[in-house]
Structure 1
């Protein structure tokens, strides 16, 4: 009996240690704890201010979010925004990859691309919105123009930097195997520069997402009912602050899902699995 009684505390201690190690080593658990802490701070700060018209509580925002999802088609508005964003994002990634691939084999194209990046990358995408509206009218085409500008240049810069950082040894291996043109880019440069490419894709996604929401705050053209940015703008005009914060929360939730799930899975099956990134 004494041995058993001594063994049980030891087992409980080992279980507690394993649980503690899991909590502190699991990225998902850490993120959940961080989000819970931020939600608690939000709730306490809002209750301390006690001005719902300016700063609603976290619980009131979540209630407004649930109401908007169930009764006001917030998910449909979010999907409308995401659909436009994905079209612009894919177009931009393809154009940038083609442009950067040509820059690898042509010094003139490289100088042209670097000059265009220096010119247009610092230019806020939303600043092109009036010009896009003048050229293409009040519609989806204007949003696509703005999105392509927001995505293409930062992604092209990250990809070009990644291509230029590929070791000369790997370049020589590709040439010794007779790889030229597209096959050289696909088989040698892209795999070797994949960490930089994924980093550029994440940066470009963030730029595209915030640009789209900002554009929709001006006009909601993602669908007949408007997009997520238009949902925020409409409720701001009607002084439904809790729904404004609910729309912002939906923007954050989508961003967390894309960053923490989609890009995380891509990294786990590629650069992390290959030992190219910790």
Structure 2
């Protein structure tokens, strides 16, 4: 199969063609299922008004900040669980308790603790992102430790040398895979949180823009914002895949 047929652009082209065909068939009212050009015009209008760019920048800024903080927190948890067996067990219990909880489930508690603030958003985002990173990396670190334990002991590789040359270099692929999982979970949590936070007074981010378009019955604009979120997701996926291919080549 030709390489261009496997690209994300080909997938988007097929989706757009099917969408336009359904819109032209007029199986649904235009207000519920607008054509592609109507969605694009609504998106251009939002961009011209400045609302779209500022909301994209805000949402990406929040999720990048949350990702950095989650990676740091996961690194601390990995160090503790690798260093101390008792800590590994306790952190595993915490992961089993908190990982299944969706961000929206802990949102009321976060609002009670810190209010409707950026700190609250960061806490919920970290809750969504830390655990998949820790869980996947912990499994990989255990496998590396079992594989290279005798090697590290024979050559006295400990501390930072073992951390970089064995654990980090040996788990780059899994790290990128865990970042993909955390990123997708973070996006879902972010959009939900922004819609709720927007209702209670913090009118920022793409989630609030979705809620705002729905409130004004701007279906084309709503689909346009969803399209932007999908394109950002594809761009991040391709970027991480490129980095992963370079490390493995």
Q: Which TM bucket (shorter chain)?
A: over 0.9
Q: Render the CA deviation track for 1:47-105: whole Å, top value 9, x for unaligned.
A: 33241222222221122111111224301111101111111111011111121122112
Structure 2 partner of 1:6: none
Structure 1 partner of 2:17: 40
Q: Which has the higher contact order (CA 8 A, sep 6+)?
A: 2
| Mapped contact 1:162–1:197 kept (Cα < 8 A) | no
| Mapped contact 1:155–1:201 kept (Cα < 8 A) | yes
Q: Render the CA deviation track for 1:14-73: whole Å, top value 9, x for unaligned.
A: xxxxxxx6xx1357x632222101111111123332412222222211221111112243
Give the deviation of 1:189 after TM superposition: 1.3
Moved more, 166-175 or 93-102: 166-175
Match of 2:116 among 113, 138, 147: 138
The secondary structure found in structure 1 opposite 2:229 is: helix
Aligned pairs (5 A) from 1:67-216: 67-166=45-144, 168-216=146-194
Match of 2:234 among 256, 261, 268: 256
Unaligned runs of at least 5 residues, structure 2: none
| Mapped contact 2:8–2:234 kept (Cα < 8 A) | no
Say if 2:51 is the partner of 1:63.
Answer: no
Unaligned runs of at least 5 residues, structure 1: 1-20, 274-278
The secondary structure found in structure 1 opposite 2:7 is: helix
| Mapped contact 2:4–2:10 kept (Cα < 8 A) | no
Is the alpha carbon distance of 1:126 and 1:253 closer, same or farther for their aligned partners in structure 2, counting shifts above 3 Å?
same
The secondary structure found in structure 2 opposite 1:179 is: coil
Give the deviation of 1:181 after TM superposition: 3.1
TM-score (norm 1): 0.83
Count how many residue pairs are aligned between Structure 1 and Structure 2: 247
> Radius of gyration: which is bigger?
1
